[in-house]
Structure 1
Amino acid sequence: MVKYEEDKNDEGLVSKATSYRKFRPELLFTGIVILILVAFSCKVTIQERQKSFLDSAKLTFIPADIQHLWGILSPYHVQNTYEDPPPECSVNQVNILHRHGARLPELADQKAMMASVKKYQKAKGYCAEELQFLNGFSYDLGSESLVQLGAEQSWSSGVDAYSRYSNLVDKNHLPFIRVSLSDRVVMSARNWSAGFHECSRQYRPKISVYIDEGPHSNNTLFNSNCPNAHAGDKQVDQWVDIYANPIAHRLNSAAIDLPENLTAKDVFYLMMMCPFESVYHREYSPFCGMFNITEFKGFEYAIDLEQYYTTGYGQDQGLGRVQGVGYVNELLARLTNRTVKDGTQTNHTLDDNKHTFPLDKKMYVDFSHDHLMTAVYSAIGLFNTSRLDPTEINQGRSWRSSEIMPFSTRMSVERLDCSARTPGRFYNSWSENVNMKERNGDYVRILVNDVVQRLEFCGGDKEGLCELAKFVDSQGYARSNGNGDFDRCGYEPSGDISLSALSASLSSSIPNLGL
């Protein structure tokens, strides 16, 4: 099991990362101001609160056209403000699938980044002004851990959730929270809960279920149950060789007496320094200045390819999207108030128990990782407009990871009760209801980072609403356990963990963070 070490800042947010640079009080003051602004905005209208949040959450020291080209390393941002449901409809259940907040690089990326930086620093000097910082640069990033910005992102998301869905919450209907068991995911969930509590002033939802991430543990919130699936490295390397070789030539030419030339892959990791340094230190990293917008577009596309060919539509034999089937079947169970029917990676000990998988809640929040969410998108049928070519940027793609999978991404699946004769802003007792659509019954609407998805695959209308029955019918891939794709995964579960063992393990492994 995972043991946790956490640092709390003065706002009570939990992150594990600790800076090795000199303490900068102005950054702490800025963080406090942002959190106060977001908390205060709970008292104003939802529209005003959203504007306040969006304004305060921007990393204004980084040009938007740069930070929105960092793929899955982009800070959370939305492309649209939340659209209220049609006046004849009301949300009666919401399922939120949430990525953890901003983190430090994973261990393999950290090692590669350090190696590429040290390789380029062996030059005796540099001809270009934007490279002079390398003479005194010292690498100080850790790995894996949640950073302060990531803690704030999750906290603000909790504020946002209560502001939007407070009508679904009372003392008997608190959000039901599950997490995949890694430190940054658990901390993100607890910070979300802290934000939810701060906004509500009374409700403090707790994490109800922790699901282990071991290679033989059934987990619908982590992509560890398909060992035969391969990463999208082949396609990424193919594209990196195309877009980054000219950059490597430029940088090698600008270095004086460089013992060993940079490769295209070195360039990719040097570009990765830009988002990680900027997000961690909350200042514009000098690595960003080494590259232009066109080059960052190539970087973004490389990350898009990695997601698409690892757990997205591009994975061979369907072994990517099938990793999202278990979660989709859990989602269908909640939407229809029926027991889970799944033959893939669900943990039936948990899902068959009303305490660990209740069906009477109005708000469900599951915290996970980017690759699992990519698999869920693909299993549902989202963002499937055109295939990604590893030799040329697909300019018209909807699969842009900076938009659909930045840090702290959230997919919200709303279940709505619609009645065509419900009075609303387009209906009164003196006139015919001519402007209101003839909706009656249960509907589904999906938002990804507040952008309403059109759901063409189930007959969704221009407002994104799809009849619940038609949505369920459209999920034949999940309901058939991936049409045999999961059988090719080569997964051998060790058996569902018992509830008593789960409880005992968690009591010794998860500290009370006090949120």
Structure 2
Amino acid sequence: MCTFLRFNIHMVKYEEDKNDGGLVSKATSYRKFRPELLFTGIVILILVAFSCKVTIQERQKSFLDSAKLTFIPADIQHLWGILSPYHVQNTYEDPPPECSVNQVNILHRHGARLPELADQKAMMASVKKYQKAKGYCAEELQFLNGFSYDLGSESLVQLGAEQSWSSGVDAYSRYSNLVDKNHLPFIRVSLSDRVVMSARNWSAGFHECSRQYRPKISVYIDEGPHSNNTLFNSNCPNAHAGDKQVDQWVDIYANPIAHRLNSAAIDLPENLTAKDVFYLMMMCPFESVYHREYSPFCGMFNITEFKGFEYAIDLEQYYTTGYISSYLSPTGLPITGSLFRYGQDQGLGRVQGVGYVNELLARLTNRTVKDGTQTNHTLDDNKHTFPLDKKMYVDFSHDHLMTAVYSAIGLFNTSRLDPTEINQGRSWRSSEIMPFSTRMSVERLDCSARTPGRFYNSWSENVNMKERNGDYVRILVNDVVQRLEFCGGDKEGLCELAKFVDSQGYARSNGNGDFDRCGYEPSGDISLSALSASLSSNIPNLGL
């Protein structure tokens, strides 16, 4: 059995079994234990273990589809932005027959979690404010009379543990040809509990599927304000979040909702604001993901209102570490000054992904890291902490760092997001590109012209058809193959490795000077001995 669950009648606490590679989750529920949910979870995990013996497509159908929060309509849970559960967007497409994957780099977001502390406080305040009414006119609001807030903060939840576990199963099923006893996945993590636990659960799933390989975490990178960490966006103190644009949009979409809710409350001492509405809507995904049941807060809002909620989260991601931070001219150089789209407080989001991209380029080309931004050279110059001879690399991180990496590479380069009106045609939809447990997979492929007469052409109409031969790169985000037009990618998503490297001029130039404006003063690259000492005192004993 893949997982052992220990529980008391009024508490469900998911712990890792030290011998069987079970799930790790620190979140604890204080609602009454529901045996049918336990049974459902066990059935799902049995399906996962069995699915290792069947095809990738059958496994995805049997497990990943069943692992969704099926009791919540998809058109609701897929409007929760970065709070959406991981969901299958596309069946993995095998490489063309003349190509084989010889290296994969996976950048992985942690699994589903409880709210961050600041959001927790704001949510509690908004709920308490609305509960001061003497009554409610609408039926869907009656639950508030007896509602008690019981969410914690920050920790990974059961669903988050399962998401990472199934991702490990998926990785071995797909890339088992890259693994043997001398080539285990090389895993790095940003040093936060939910990230570390996600990595360990991924490893447990990988082990369960392989039945023999249990990859260990090789490198933990501190998240302190002066640590050089390419897996966390803490190295640019002069960068600004997208709060201004989010507030602007929230005032537009949520004020009518606030008016509706205030009208439905009897003798409410203080009216809800638009920001209160935003935090009440946030209760829907957090409650649903945590308790694995449809939160009554979801019923307070309709589809149109959730579309506004999703767009607010899209704006936050876009204006914090997305493209708006560095508007580029057709020559690839940054446009500064009055041509910044929304003022001088932007410009330093995209550069926070440069360090990781330069590490990625080093792995793809088997060359040492060349970077002048946030890489830790003590780690990256050491073959034990940054090897170049592995076939599978897995890095666990957070949402904002990953969006910075997307932007630095050139993915999801959408038309700008207007903070006064929803951009309906945008490709920057955080529910799709950054749900919990998101993974970006960068595959390096060796292609040879062994399929006679087969030709391929680029997305560009001006590129002649030609045979594939040599090293190529393919990028998938949540199993969706990306169109790499910026490096002449073809219609099957493949781009010549040399052209991909050439296309990463922003990263290779250390952000064209953007990083110099970050105001970052590192304390010095942490030594390996200091890192080891830090780990022994800060890493919780989770069993793996």
Normalised to the residue count of structure 2, the TM-score between the two structures is: 0.90
The reply to whether residue 472 of structure 1 matches residue 482 of structure 2 is no
* Counterparts in 2 of 1:10 and 1:201: CA distance versus 1, 3 Å: closer
* Counterparts in 2 of 1:10 and 1:195: CA distance versus 1, 3 Å: closer
Structure 1 residue 256, shift from structure 2 partner:
0.3
Contact 1:314 1:320 survives alignment (8 Å): no
Contact 1:6 1:16 survives alignment (8 Å): no
The reply to whether residue 419 of structure 1 matches residue 468 of structure 2 is no
Structure 1 residue 430, shift from structure 2 partner:
31
Summarize deviations over 1:66-123 as a string: whole Å, max 9, x none.
Answer: 0000000000012111001111100000000000000000000000000000000000
Secondary structure of 1:318's aligned partner: coil
* Counterparts in 2 of 1:5 and 1:318: CA distance versus 1, 3 Å: farther
Contact 1:4 1:183 survives alignment (8 Å): no
CA RMSD after TM alignment: 3.9
* Counterparts in 2 of 1:504 and 1:2: CA distance versus 1, 3 Å: farther
Summarize deviations over 1:190-224 as a string: whole Å, max 9, x none.
Answer: 00000000000000000000000000000000000
* Counterparts in 2 of 1:78 and 1:193: CA distance versus 1, 3 Å: same
Structure 1 residue 510, shift from structure 2 partner:
2.1
* Counterparts in 2 of 1:8 and 1:232: CA distance versus 1, 3 Å: farther
Summarize deviations over 1:170-193 as a string: whole Å, max 9, x none.
Answer: 000000000000000000000000
Summarize deviations over 1:310-330 as a string: whole Å, max 9, x none.
Answer: 11x999553000000000000
Summarize deviations over 1:316-367 as a string: whole Å, max 9, x none.
Answer: 5530000000000000000000000000000000000000000000000000
Structure 1 residue 428, shift from structure 2 partner:
21
Structure 1 residue 511, shift from structure 2 partner:
4.1
> CA–CA distance in 2 between the matches of 1:437 and 1:79?
30
Contact 2:12 2:33 survives alignment (8 Å): no
* Counterparts in 2 of 1:227 and 1:365: CA distance versus 1, 3 Å: same
* Counterparts in 2 of 1:128 and 1:318: CA distance versus 1, 3 Å: same
> CA–CA distance in 2 between the matches of 1:402 and 1:514?
32
Secondary structure of 2:442's aligned partner: strand
Match of 1:495 in 2: 524
Which stretches in structure 1 are left out of the alignment for 5+ residues? none
Q: How many residues align?
A: 514
Contact 1:197 1:204 survives alignment (8 Å): yes
> CA–CA distance in 2 between the matches of 1:177 and 1:349?
17
Which stretches in structure 2 are left out of the alignment for 5+ residues? 1-10, 322-341
Summarize deviations over 1:471-503 as a string: whole Å, max 9, x none.
Answer: 000000000000000000000000001001111
* Counterparts in 2 of 1:429 and 1:65: CA distance versus 1, 3 Å: closer
> CA–CA distance in 2 between the matches of 1:252 and 1:459?
54
For residue 24 of structure 1, the aligned residue among 17, 31, 34 is 34
Contact 2:114 2:156 survives alignment (8 Å): yes
* Range with greater deviation from structure 2 (497-506 or 336-345): 497-506
Contact 1:342 1:481 survives alignment (8 Å): yes
Structure 1 residue 423, shift from structure 2 partner:
7.7
* Range with greater deviation from structure 2 (49-58 or 187-196): 49-58
Summarize deviations over 1:393-433 as a string: whole Å, max 9, x none.
Answer: 00000000000000000000000000012589999999999
Contact 1:248 1:262 survives alignment (8 Å): yes
Structure 1 residue 3, shift from structure 2 partner:
18
* Counterparts in 2 of 1:4 and 1:198: CA distance versus 1, 3 Å: closer
Contact 1:317 1:485 survives alignment (8 Å): no
* Counterparts in 2 of 1:153 and 1:4: CA distance versus 1, 3 Å: closer
* Counterparts in 2 of 1:432 and 1:409: CA distance versus 1, 3 Å: closer
* Counterparts in 2 of 1:245 and 1:337: CA distance versus 1, 3 Å: same
Contact 1:314 1:387 survives alignment (8 Å): no
Secondary structure of 1:446's aligned partner: strand
The reply to whether residue 398 of structure 1 matches residue 408 of structure 2 is no
Contact 1:104 1:143 survives alignment (8 Å): yes
Which has the bigger relative contact order, CA under 8 A and spacing at least 6? 1
Summarize deviations over 1:4-29 as a string: whole Å, max 9, x none.
Answer: 99899997210111011112222111
The reply to whether residue 222 of structure 1 matches residue 232 of structure 2 is yes
> CA–CA distance in 1 between the matches of 2:83 and 2:462?
47
Secondary structure of 1:316's aligned partner: coil
Contact 2:21 2:208 survives alignment (8 Å): no
> CA–CA distance in 1 between the matches of 2:349 and 2:56?
37
> CA–CA distance in 2 between the matches of 1:387 and 1:139?
37
> CA–CA distance in 2 between the matches of 1:16 and 1:342?
36
Match of 2:476 in 1: 447
Contact 2:459 2:489 survives alignment (8 Å): no
* Counterparts in 2 of 1:444 and 1:3: CA distance versus 1, 3 Å: farther
> CA–CA distance in 1 between the matches of 2:372 and 2:460?
52
Contact 2:412 2:427 survives alignment (8 Å): yes
The reply to whether residue 243 of structure 1 matches residue 253 of structure 2 is yes
Contact 2:181 2:213 survives alignment (8 Å): yes
Contact 1:17 1:147 survives alignment (8 Å): yes
> CA–CA distance in 1 between the matches of 2:138 and 2:528?
61
- In the TM superposition, structure 1's runs of 4+ consecutive aligned residues that sit over 4 Å from their partners are 1-11, 313-317, 422-437
Contact 2:81 2:431 survives alignment (8 Å): yes
Percentage of matched positions with identical amino acids: 100
* Counterparts in 2 of 1:213 and 1:4: CA distance versus 1, 3 Å: farther
> CA–CA distance in 1 between the matches of 2:500 and 2:457?
31
* Counterparts in 2 of 1:49 and 1:444: CA distance versus 1, 3 Å: same
Contact 2:354 2:408 survives alignment (8 Å): yes
Structure 1 residue 445, shift from structure 2 partner:
0.3
* Range with greater deviation from structure 2 (404-413 or 78-87): 78-87
Contact 2:351 2:511 survives alignment (8 Å): yes
Secondary structure of 1:260's aligned partner: coil
